[in-house]
Structure 1
Amino acid sequence: MTAATAPDGMVAGLDLLQRALDYTRDALGTITCADVDRPTPCAGWNLADLLAHMEDALDAFAEAADGAVGLSSAAPTPLEARVQALQHKACALLAAWLRADRPTVEVGGRPLAIDAIARIAALEIAVHGWDVGQATGCGAPLPEPLAVALLPSALQIALAGDDRFAPPLPVAVEAPAGLHVLALLGRRSSPPRARGDCS
């Protein structure tokens, strides 16, 4: 990705999106069929529910590259097919955004700057990647440089009272940025549940 190939104002957003996708692809690689019914940090959702939501979100963010976001829901599919679809859509997402040629995206009839959408996409993708890792017990913490870059978007969502995420939780001021991002989105970081076949 270079400034010459990215839409105006999108270089930083695309870089952040790439890092979030890389992190989440690694988390998706930890899933086994035994994990499908495991609880996630998303209240009331098991891993299958979370994966369905993630697929819907990737579809919506890919649509945003064409200038508008519609609402749809992924049909139920077997776990292996769903993980493969998520990995494929994650790979295709950056390509869709590199083809974007509009400065704004219509979301619910309201124009938002394309870079802001890329940053929100990166935040949602990375945090749900963390959720996956917590469910499988094989997750890695949010990398600190990625978390630092995601923090402004997480704060914006928390201040707006965005109901896509749980209400913010308290966290120590001196805590790493990754813990602040998670707390702003209603997540309490804890060591992932141990699983013997993590590699």
Structure 2
Amino acid sequence: MDLLDAHAHAMDVFDRAVHKVGIGDWDSPTPCTEWTVRDLVKHLVSEQLWVPDLLAGKTVEEVGDKYDGDVLEDDPLHAWTESSQAARGAWLQPGSLVKVVHLSFGDTDGAEYCWQMTTDLAVHGWDLATAVGAEARMGDELATAVLEYVEPQLDLWQGTEWFAAPVPVPADADPETRLVALLGRTP
């Protein structure tokens, strides 16, 4: 799967989940044990807000505290829609995948940054859908593409705050089940 196609598909996974959040769901727990539904959506909105600035070559220091605080305000769905459209537009600019991006842990290329964002969108889309009792389907093609990105890096990520320890699943589990279990979720 082409990276920009994977990103679009992952964004759709999260978008479908956000549209399933009911009025009484915002304080509900998620598979990300530290976050409520609102916290999870806030995390993804904040990430999307950073994309245009980082792809424009700004450093974390230059952006500063611009996206601190309650980026959802009184309308989380609107905040998600606006931020995701702006982020997607930035990714679709020519050369976005080959630019040097200045992230908090150092400089990387746009493709690596896009894979990180794609992974976050897909997995947190699953988290959000699960939290609100919606069908959490990212599909085999996207799950396989993200698995292929994640698996070689898993040793580096284990023991960080990013993911819990892998959850065992049967060897013949589908790609989505393997992916979320590999990243510490109970399918």
Please give the range of the TM-score, normalised by the shorter of the 2 chains.
Answer: 0.7 to 0.9
Structure 1: stretches of 5+ with no match in the other structure: 1-10, 190-199
Q: Is residue 117 of structure 1 aligned with residue 113 of structure 2?
A: yes
- Report the Cα distance in structure 2 between the residues aligned to 1:77 and 1:26, rounded to whole angstroms: 17
Structure 2 matches for 1:86-165, cutoff 5 A?
Answer: 86-99=80-93, 101=95, 103-108=99-104, 110-161=106-157, 162-165=160-163
Letter in structure 1 aligned against 2:169: V
Cα shift at 1:67: 2.9
Match for 1:169: what amino acid? V
Aligned to 1:182: 180
1:61/1:121 contact within 8 Å kept: no
Cα distance in 2 between the residues matched to 1:188 and 1:85: 29
1:1-199 mapped onto 2 (5 Å cutoff): 12-68=2-58, 70=60, 72-75=67-70, 77-78=72-73, 81-99=75-93, 101=95, 103-108=99-104, 110-161=106-157, 162-189=160-187
Query: Shift in Å at residue 77 of structure 1?
Result: 4.2
Task: Report the residue type matching 1:16 in the other structure.
Answer: A
What is the CA–CA distance in structure 2 between the aligned matches of 1:104 and 1:51, rounded to whole Å?
Answer: 27
Q: Secondary structure of 1:33's match?
A: coil
The separation in 1 between residues aligned to 2:140 and 2:59, in whole angstroms, is: 30
Amino acid at match of 1:147: A
Percentage identity across paired residues of the two chains: 26
Counterpart contact for 1:64–1:105, Cα < 8 Å? yes
SS of alignment partner, residue 168 of structure 1: coil
Q: Equivalents in 2 of 1:157, 1:63: separation in Å?
A: 26
Tell me how many residue pairs correspond in the alignment: 178
The runs of at least 4 consecutive aligned structure 1 residues that moved more than 6 Å come to: none
CA offsets 1:133-187 (integer angstroms, 9 cap, x no match): 1111013322111101111222244221242222222222221111111012111
After superposition, give the CA deviation of every residue in 1:34-86 in whole Å (9 maximum; x if it has no partner): 1011110001211111111111121233333223453643416456x112111
Q: TM-score, normalised by structure 1?
A: 0.79
SS at match of 1:175: coil
Which residue identity is paired with 1:12? Answer: D
TM-score (norm 2): 0.84
Unaligned runs of 5+ in 2: none
Give the Cα–Cα distance (whole angstroms) in 2 for the partners of residues 78 and 173 of structure 1: 43
Residues 67 and 78 (structure 1 numbering): CA distance in 2 closer, same or farther, change over 3 Å?
A: closer
Give distance in 2, aligned partners of 1:97 and 1:63: 11
CA contact (8 A) 2:45 2:71 kept: no
Q: Which moved more, 1:140-149 or 1:150-159?
A: 150-159
